[in-house]
Amino acid sequence: MLFSSKVFLFAFLPIVLFLYYAVGKTVKEKYRTVYRNVLLFISSLVFYAADNLYFLSVMLLSITANWLFGMAIDKYKDTKKAKTMLVLSLVFNLGMIFVFKYLSFTVANINSLFNTSLAVPKISLPLGISFFTFQSISYVADVYRKKVDAQRSFYHVGLYISLFPQLIAGPIVRYKTVADEIDNRKIDLSLFSDGVCRFIIGLCKKVLIANTTALIADAAFAQSDLSMPFAWLGAVSYTLQIYFDFSGYSDMAIGLGRMFGFHFEENFNFPYIARSVTDFWRRWHISLSSWFRDYVYIPLGGNRCSKAREIFNLFIVWLLTGIWHGAAWNFIIWGLFYFVIILFERTFPKKYIDKNAKPKLPHRMIGHILTLICVISAWVLFRAESLSAAMSYLGSMFAGKAEFDIMFLRYFSENKLFLICGILFSMPISKIPRPNENGKDSKIVNAAFGILYPVLLSAGFILACAYIVKGSYNPFIYFNF
């Protein structure tokens, strides 16, 4: 079920909110949180099962197994059995991802490499399996590290893993982030209102910008003979699409979380203003980057080891990052591309890449331009249907016909407003400051903000709903992961 679907917006969400607040108020206060948690758990399972009931069994298996692993580690804490339970949980969780996501890819490559004819299994990929499995791993690992207490309630663990706002495409939420709020969250009108505003912003990003730029990107990547301008237009469009698609989903997830009293951490921080690839990955998909840092890079030794070992650790992280995103060589090369670039930046003068350094303007501009070229080129690897198609597309970008052909002129003229908005809103200029609550802002600024902000949000919501009702193109890129 998509957040930007008619069923979710006009049926599922209103019903769940009504049951959560209106009916929840009728429940005795000491049972209210229990009622709301059970309601959210059941609603999340319904949300997940809406597209494919078969996926629900996978989700329930994951919840049950990780709930049991957590309790077993707590039972055997400070013994070798606890470590054994941790290893078994990793085998189970990673094995589940492998079977559903990578088994077909592996068998196909074995056939190609060894000239065998093994049957390639056709296995449906459960939505968001990489996201909820990584959450499960972090929960069990944190129980083992004694960073969180093992949860004895099945539905508490189930709610954490399946909570529908962040279930399908993140952000990847740590158990310690929401552990206290599962039992003790406070709900008020201000938090709910803030959540609604954040959800609308994400919805507009997704429906109005991501979906529109997706049409340009799809047209460009479907062409076999591209001019240089149209190749760049398609690549830039996909660069905007994937940002507004994913950050829009994250905004909606964070907004929904606040509507129900949860505080999820931010997942994006204007990544396209970065002036180094290292800085880009501090700003892009923050929850995934921090997950790999805390559960892979640091346990391997991080940078507190020999230089050769540090490079190896970095290689493993980026290899796994590429593999996590998909079962195709494109994604593996994409991850290793970032490994090479970041390794290069670590040996480059820090004034060009250190986010805390203050280089002269030309250095900052050069760093920003080079970073964007690297990122846009990497997105071509990410988007193309195959490695050969990616190489062909990159060839058109850097050595194609330098002419403004009819395809470029058509798609640019029809969508230039959305492209301009996409570029502007990918920068902090789009971050409207709220009035200062201590009264230092002028009355005029406060009044203008108080009028314009809800008007703009309302207009954006109505326009986005119009696009949705009309049945506009509406994919979610990260549902594949």
Which are the catalytic amino acids? 325
End-to-end CA distance of the chain: 15
Q: What are phi and psi of 313, to 5 degrees?
A: -60, -40
| Residue located via tokens 């203008």 | 448
CA angle (342, 315, 274) in 5-degree steps: 25
Q: What are phi and psi of 234, to 5 degrees?
A: -65, -40
118/22 Cα distance (integer angstroms) = 56
Please answer whether residues 203 and 182 qualify as being in contact, where contact means their C-beta atoms are separated by less than 8 angstroms: no
Q: Strand pairing partners for 401?
A: 227
* One-character DSSP codes across 47-116: HHHTT-HHHHHHHHHHHHHHHHHHHHHHHTTTSHHHHHHHHHHHHHHHHHHIIIIIHHHHHHHHHHHHT-
Q: Which long-range contacts (CB under 8 A, 24 or more apart) does 400-405 make?
A: 400/226, 400/227, 400/228, 400/231, 401/227, 401/228, 402/227, 402/228, 402/229, 403/227, 403/228, 403/229, 404/227, 404/229, 405/227, 405/229, 405/230
366/237 Cα distance (integer angstroms) = 22
- What 8-state DSSP symbol labels residue 184? H
Largest CA distance in the chain: 75
| Residue located via tokens 């049957």 | 119
Helix 228-259 and helix 189-204, axial crossing angle in degrees, nearest 10: 160
300/316 Cα distance (integer angstroms) = 9
> Pick from 230, 173, 166: which is nearest to 199 by CA?
166
Residues with Cβ within 8 Å of residue 54, at least 6 apart in sequence:
124
Please answer whether residues 209 and 178 qualify as being in contact, where contact means their C-beta atoms are separated by less than 8 angstroms: no
